[in-house]
Amino acid sequence: MFRVPLIVAIALIIAFGGGILSALSMLNASVGFGAIEVAGWRAFPAAQTASADPYAKAHRAKGGRLLYGSAEGLQFTASRDKDGLTLTGTCSYRMSGRTPTARLWTLYVADPAGNPLDAGADLPTSKNSQTVLRRSDGTFDITISRTAKSGNWLAIPDTGSFQLVLTLLDTPAAASTGLSGLAMPVIEQIGCGQ
């Protein structure tokens, strides 16, 4: 007597539960489709346009994050070094080279979800194009480490993985014609442990 309603109830629970879990996992998986990757740096230029796919729009709404318009800027993230190893707080890194042409750029250390990290009171966890020290040819080196270094230094917590978020503002790279031939800074591991 209760066998058929019980089977229907179990089937509905599985169907609705599975649907909700698969939708949530897709929203947490990525910003959307159409990623570009340049020297380990990843960006989603189509995520901020009106023609973005439904997953990108839902991801943006769920996160409550303001994305830049295609004429305003482009945000790149890097979670691995040049050898493909995950960036972790137990190692030190050097980011060197130059950024693509931009009126202004910012760089900060974030957790894997993209939230800015705090390495401690009064420690630098961000840099921008106005404060970075450069060589005469325009290139720069930024040391990313848990211990203080001379020159350009970003502090990171000593545990867990992290990512670097580079935002280019007012840049030709944000237009579809500016995506070819981008030169991005290289991230290399310079030591681990003590």
| pLDDT surpassing 70 at residue 153 | yes
| pLDDT surpassing 90 at residue 46 | no
Q: What is the pLDDT of residue 60?
A: 64
Residue 62 · residue 32 · CB < 8 Å: no
Q: What is the pLDDT of residue 175?
A: 61
Q: What is the pLDDT of residue 14?
A: 93
Q: What is the pLDDT of residue 34?
A: 61
CA-CA distance, 118 to 109, in Å (whole number)? 8
For 51-107, how does the pLDDT look when each residue is reduced to its tens digit (9 = 90+)?
666 766 666 666 566 666 666 778 888 999 998 899 998 899 999 998 888 888 999
List the beta bridge partners of residue 78.
164
Q: What is the pLDDT of residue 71?
A: 63
| pLDDT surpassing 70 at residue 33 | no
| pLDDT surpassing 80 at residue 41 | yes
For 93-144, how does the pLDDT look when each residue is reduced to its tens digit (9 = 90+)?
999 998 888 888 999 998 887 788 887 778 888 898 898 989 898 899 999 9
Lowest mean pLDDT among 37-46, 141-150, 171-180: 171-180
Model confidence band, residue 157 (pLDDT cutoffs 50, 70, 90)? confident
CA 52 to chain centroid, in Å, comes to 18
CA-CA distance, 162 to 140, in Å (whole number)? 21
Q: Helix 54-63 crosses helix 3-29 at what angle (to 10 degrees)? A: 80
| CATH architecture label of 35-53+65-192 | Sandwich (2.60)
Q: What is the pLDDT of residue 191?
A: 86
How many of the other CB atoms lie within 10 Å of CB of 167? Answer: 19
Q: What is the pLDDT of residue 58?
A: 67
Could you give phi then psi for residue 79, rounded to 5 degrees?
-115, 5
